[in-house]
Structure 1
Amino acid sequence: MTSFGDYKSKASQYITFIDSEFYPDYLDEAKTIYSSVIDQFTELAYLVRSSVDLLISIADKPNPSRTQLLRVFRKYVSPDTSVEMLKVKKRIPNIIADYGHRFRKIEEVRANLASRPNPDEALMALLMEYKSRGQKGYELTEAFFLWFESNFASDYSIQGPVRAGRDIMLNEVLQEWDAKTPADILISRHDETPLIIGFARYDSDRGGAQEDDRTGGNRDKVTDILRYADRYKLPLKIFFLNDGPGLTLGSMWNDYAALENYGKGRVMVCTLKMLDERFTKDWLES
């Protein structure tokens, strides 16, 4: 069978490009979504005595307003803290204790708000990036599920979040698997024998330390899953559905080719355009 590494010389022909919106085409939508959010943030900034109080005030707001306000808070007050950190209300006191000394003073926040145009198209464009984050990954997994069901539904079952949704947790689907390991795809025979554990990722861009962390973490997954399969005499394989132009950056393609080789036939790395050629019943049952 042709390996993932064999496709490198014609990589661009096998990459799936999931469309992104052009700037400034999406600004009208951004104004509709974020004008009221920025107005509300500005109003709150003038009602509180400090930036700490501003965070506490935002944390008391209901969603979805709270999450959107936290994104503005991060831009104006605390770039050190991720929105994911701030979203957990019970962690707010700890965040204030750990990072509050680095919050920008409320007087500076107000001055900066006053200096910006209204509407603030630059900030709206930044916030719009959050809205589309993850969407390409959802489209990638949805495309795979549709392809799989059209080709293999009569022989196998497939589970996982088709778009947004809860990951497959390996400790819930594999007996005696202790770690809470998330996966995107589980393919089984109809008798519930697990065959494929899959991980999906769309990379618009990737490189540097992130690239090294990704491939190193994937190698650990392969080692752990294959060790488990050998211990319990299961025909498990690992499938990496990776796509996007980020695959062609740096050493990414070579790293994934090496990962596939490391699996000695029990690991496959594929883009959507490779599926018909590589993801076959022969490999599933090999």
Structure 2
Amino acid sequence: MTENKFLCNIEDPNTIITPIDTAIRFPEILEILLNKYSDDIAFFSKLIAESKSSAELLDKIRSKGIDKDQRMSLLKMFRRCVSPVLDTETTKKIGKVSTASLVENYGSTFKSIDVLKEQFANLSNETKGALAALIGEYDTRGQLGYDLTANFFGWFEDRFKGELTINGPRGAGRDIELNTIFPDFEGQYPCDFVIRKADTAEVLAVGFARYDSTRGGAVG
């Protein structure tokens, strides 16, 4: 029985990898990221110059008056330049985590504002490019998985049109919780797609999609 399974008959795993090549190479990526983040870097430098302490700098960045997308860029710079222990997933929650709490618990790790003022007083284009590359490092994180899912959905709908349906997010979107599919399922457990019979809507399978840029894609 085992020898009839598809994967057992694959001699070279590379032949079943789905390569998705959408990445921009170095050094071309540097100019793109510098153009994207140059205004944010200039604003970060301005905030540093106007702040009396690194704690005040963080408070200004977390101000609700700053656009959320720009705030994310500033928080990434704060992590890279001021306090590497403060991840953006924590600092972006301005309605749930107070700046005072962050300063109290992590302030000892903050780089001095005087050092920051000196370092950001006159940044060279090379330094700006390096900083843009650092904060833009994960800009496309998750995109390969989205591309893989979209490709699989397209193939599935062409192959099983009229017989089966497939539902789930094709890009960035909320996963499907299993307890919304199976009422008796306890707890929360997300899946990427649900396959049903087209005529009765009976659930036949739930699936998961994963993509690693060095190992290819998998849909199961």
CA distance in 2, matches of 1:51, 1:39: 17
Aligned CA-pair RMSD:
2.1
Q: Larger helix proportion, structure 1 or 2?
A: 1
Provide the residue aligned with 1:282 in structure 2.
none
Query: 8 Å contact 1:14–1:271 — kept in the other structure?
Result: no
Q: TM-score, normalised by structure 1?
A: 0.67
Seen in structure 2, the aligned counterparts of structure 1 residues 175 and 23 have a Cα distance that, compared at 3 Å, is same
Structure 2: how far apart are the matches of 1:17 and 1:110? 45
Instruction: Find the counterpart in structure 1 of residue 50 from structure 2.
Output: 47
Amino acid at match of 2:181: V
- Does the 8 Å contact 1:187/1:195 carry over to 2? yes
Residues 51 and 105 in structure 1, CA contact (< 8 A), matched pair in contact too: yes
Choose which of 83, 86, 96 in structure 2 pairs with 1:78.
83
Q: Give distance in 1, aligned partners of 2:8 and 2:92.
A: 41
Relative to structure 1, the CA distance from residue 149 to residue 59 in structure 2 (aligned partners, 3 Å threshold; closer, same or farther) is same
Distance in 1 (CA, whole Å) between partners of 2:8 and 2:106 is 45
Q: Which runs of 5+ in 1 are unaligned?
A: 206-242, 245-269, 273-278, 280-286
Residue 156 (structure 1) aligned with residue 158 (structure 2): no
Query: Hey, what's the Cα distance between the residues in 2 that align with 1:51 and 1:72?
Result: 12
| Secondary structure of 1:188 counterpart | strand
Q: Write out per-residue CA displacement over residues 17-60 of structure 1, whole angstroms, 9 at most, x where no aligned residue.
A: 22121101122221221100100001011111221211111111
User: Following superposition of structure 1 onto structure 2, how do residues 248-267 of structure 1 map, counting pairs within 5 Å?
Assistant: none
- How far apart, in 1, do the equivalents of 2:67 and 2:173 lie? 21
Match of 1:15 in 2: 17
Matches within 5 A, 1:108-187: 108-114=115-121, 116-118=123-125, 120-187=128-195
In the alignment, the residues of structure 2 paired with residue 187 and residue 145 of structure 1 have an alpha-carbon distance, to the nearest angstrom, of 10
Question: In structure 1, how many angstroms separate the alpha carbons of the residues matched to 2:74 and 2:60?
Answer: 10
One-letter amino acid of the counterpart of residue 57, structure 1:
K
Q: Which whole-Å CA distance do the structure 1 matches of 2:90 and 2:8 have between them?
A: 38
Letter in 2 for 1:73: F
Contact 1:30 1:128 in 2 (8 A): yes
1:105 is matched with which residue? 112
Q: Distance in 2 between matches of 1:159 and 1:99?
A: 43
1:15 and 1:44 mapped to 2: Cα distance? 47
1:144 shift after superposition: 0.8
Q: CA deviation at 1:84?
A: 1.6
Q: In structure 1, how many angstroms separate the alpha carbons of the residues matched to 2:164 and 2:152?
A: 14
How many residues were matched structurally? 210
Give SS of 1:132's match: coil
The percentage of counterpart residues that share the same residue type is: 35
